[in-house]
Structure 1
Amino acid sequence: MEMLEPMLSKLAEGDVYLQDVWISEPKLDGERIIAMREGDVINMWTRRHVEASYKFPEIVSSLKKNVKGDNWILDGELTVPGGFRRLLKRNVEDKMKISILSRKLPATFNLFDILRFKGEDLTGKALIQRKKILLEAVDVGNHVTLIPFKRVTTETVKEHFEESLKKGYEGVILKNASSGYESGKRSVNWLKIKRSETIDVNVIGATRSTGSIAFGALILEKDGQYFGKVGTGFSDLDRRKILEFLEKNKAETNISIPQVLDVLLTTRPLPAEIKANEIVKNKPRAPVWVRFRWD
């Protein structure tokens, strides 16, 4: 089955003013997944266009059991206990390891949208209508659940955000309740509010190491421009795992990288987060690595 591109959120900057009816959902620390079923076949697509259903047999089994019908498309966030870094441990190919990890580090598919049901395209329907259909279509199970949502107004945005942080979430996603599903677009109808100290970037490669570590620094891009590099915030083990991940995503880049950098490899844009004290001349000062992101 051909992958349907997910709708993406815009980062809210400054105060948020909401008109019409909006809802608030907690922002989870996982990986975005579009799940599709046609007949007996279930596919799970990541934002990198990787089909990952074989890595999560417990999710596939629950989707067959807990979602009505055999022709649907669902949107949600895949998580494991411990967050995204722990989820990376599920990125294995060996069938025996997959079987063991599905029991030792089981995943949960946290659903927030439905784009097709019983063969009907729902992307043109309002979000609040899709939410009602989602509630009817899904029976919550051990590995499939629904992300909670609440009505939110301009006056209660801050309250919802702070409540989300207290519960251990990364922030909130605000969604226009009357909006359709804009596949493949980063839309103003979905707004992301996250911890202010992190910066959204793309990793586009790595530099060579002058010692025994796997690489020197990760090369960054933001808004189509070179955005510096980050070389701290990960252990030697992290570096080895990250390099393996980068090698699987090798690609040429059209971003102009300074010639002074000793480039080890370049990759397709890989969404990530860093921390920095401040931005100086469009570059982060003293950046620290946080993680890869797929939301």
Structure 2
Amino acid sequence: MNFLKTTMLLAALTALFMVMGFSLGGGRGAVLALIVAAGMNLFTYWNADKIVLKMHKAVEVDARSHPEFYAMVQRLAQRADLPMPKVYIVDQDQPNAFATGRNPENSAVAATTGLLKVLSHEEVEGVMAHELGHVKNRDTLIMTMVATIAGAVSMLANFGMFFRSNRGIAGIMAIFIAPFAAMIVQMAISRTREFGADRSAAEISGKPLALASALAKISGKAQRIPNPVAERNPAAAQLYIVPAGVRQMFSTHPATEDRIAALQDMASGGGADGWSGRSDEIGDMGRLKARRSALDPTRSR
């Protein structure tokens, strides 16, 4: 169902791009927009990981330069039955992480120096399991394609503001409404994928509360500590485990407290879903609930 929903939303986003093409150039414009969308996705398929890593000035690490962190990712990849991804570190104070790559065989995961400083070993493990969950679910390619098309819709809208032909009220409405519609579709796809990656992380690491604790720790810091890459490229916000500098109403991610609640539910379910209901994890649930309440005092569970 998750795959079907994502496919339908991606098709809707492509159709929206064609509508923009039609509003600017009629039938030929729609066909051209479809060709451009296909070309952008083909380019993204082969080059997205390189672009994302270069944009963040990410530095590849190995077992010699960062033995503990590299061994952690290697161990998690084995548990997830995934090929070993390339591992990167981004020199950035904001605690965050992301995954990229067109498929599990050509994937990369990255963590910021801020994340490695702020979180405990088990919390970092939960975060990296989340990123490997994206790789396992093939989210990295889908989300990059979505960001590419959504960005193109906004670009066409800006272009149409200055060079639109006289196509009446329908064309004007398309120019103004399309970017908001693209943003809504992008958010719908991203939020579905984040819940899926959280669940995969719990299955891979066996420690859902470690990820919940990590989310609680870094969510506030991700809003307070600047992220130069996200400031220059707002579309990059959807890459991170917690989006940087984006108000919740316009966030590509579910509310952090909702993600924590879902992970707590997984932990309380015990081993039935593929992880151990360890006594120390269950004992931490009270503290996590208190921290979740601090994130949003209006919510209780």
Could you tell me the TM-score, scaled by structure 1's length?
0.26
Q: Which structure features the higher share of helix residues?
A: 2
Q: Which structure features the higher share of strand residues?
A: 1
Could you tell me the TM-score, scaled by structure 2's length?
0.26
